[in-house]
Every structure is written in structure tokens, then in C-alpha cells.
Amino acid sequence: MITPSQVAAWDGILARPEYCRMVERRHVAHQATANYLFTSGKPNRYNPRGIEALYCSEDQATAGAEADRYRNGATKQGVIFWIHPRAFVLDLGNPVTVDALELQNELYAPWRFALSPTKTQILGGAIAGQTRLGGIRFPSDAAREKGFVGYNLVLFKRSIAAPHWVMIKDDTGGELQRWP
């Protein structure tokens, strides 16, 4: 089992300056003030239940592939915005890291109906339990299914602590929302 103290000793890379997030308009339109950094605490590929995680993509094509996967063929109006993180992240795009963590067969493993946390969820839980690394960069399964290489980023709210941050900016570059 990976522990937060082990994670704190790992090397990370500095996250890129911006990432794309695409969500259904209904998730932000019904709120008096849009919460662009909303997290549900529901389980996902890199977070077990109860861990607040924000997922985004390195580019619009990958964000679109991820959004398509969840809309199940329905026509839905989407909102695109850009996330600006300042954090170190574990890079699962690096084969050396994947091999060291023995995740070769886990990156695209199903997680939705798992009876216990998957290896990637356990990894995410360990990263969420410390503040040296703020998240994980990982290959997109949705992009792979569409025939191209794309990467996502998951940021853990508990792991983002000063001097690191995650920010949403408006069209003029002004800050709309920020962790911490």
C-alpha cells in the first residue's frame, strides 16, 4: 500500500500553465455564482469516494473526448474554461514512473464497478494525503479510444497548499476562483 509519506519523497513535474475543462452548462448555470472548481467527492479513475478531485485535460480535443464519453449520445450544451495550476504533479506519461509503480496494466483498468478501490484510486488517495504533489498527469482513456494520444490532470483539493495554487481566470486574466 502506498502511503502519503512515500509520495512526499517522489519527484514530480511542474504542471503546465493551463488545462482545459469541459462541463455541461447545467452544472454551472443554475448557481448564483459559478463554482468552476466544484468537486463532488464521487469516485473516479484516480480518486476513491470522499476525495475531492478536479479533473481537466491538456487540450480541448482531449477534454472533448472525455465529455463525449459521459454524454452517452445525448446533445448537451457544454461550457469550456481553463484551469491554471501552480503545482507539482506525478507524471504517469513517463514510462519510468509507470514501471516503478507497477501500473502498466492499470492505467486503463475499469474502475466504475470495482468492489474495492483500484490501484489508481489508492495512488490518488495517497497523493491526496500530502501536499508536496498536487495531483497526477495521466493518459486519457477516452482519447485512446478515439485514436489519439491525450493527457489529463487530476488535482486533489487537500493537496493544494501554499505556495501552490489552482486558479480560474476570466477573459481579462482576472482571478475568478482559487484553491487555496
pLDDT at 30 over 80: no
What pTM did the predictor assign? 0.92
How many Å from the N-terminal Cα to the C-terminal Cα in the chain? 28
High-pLDDT (> 70) share of the chain, %: 96
* Contacts for 22 with CB less than 8 Å, ≥ 6 apart: 57, 60, 63, 64, 66, 67, 78, 79, 80
CA-to-CA distance for 139 and 143, rounded, in angstroms? Answer: 8
Every domain of the chain and the residues it spans: 4-179
Instruction: Tell me if residue 135 falls in helix, strand or coil.
Output: strand
pLDDT at 15 over 80: yes
CA-to-CA distance for 65 and 78, rounded, in angstroms? Answer: 13
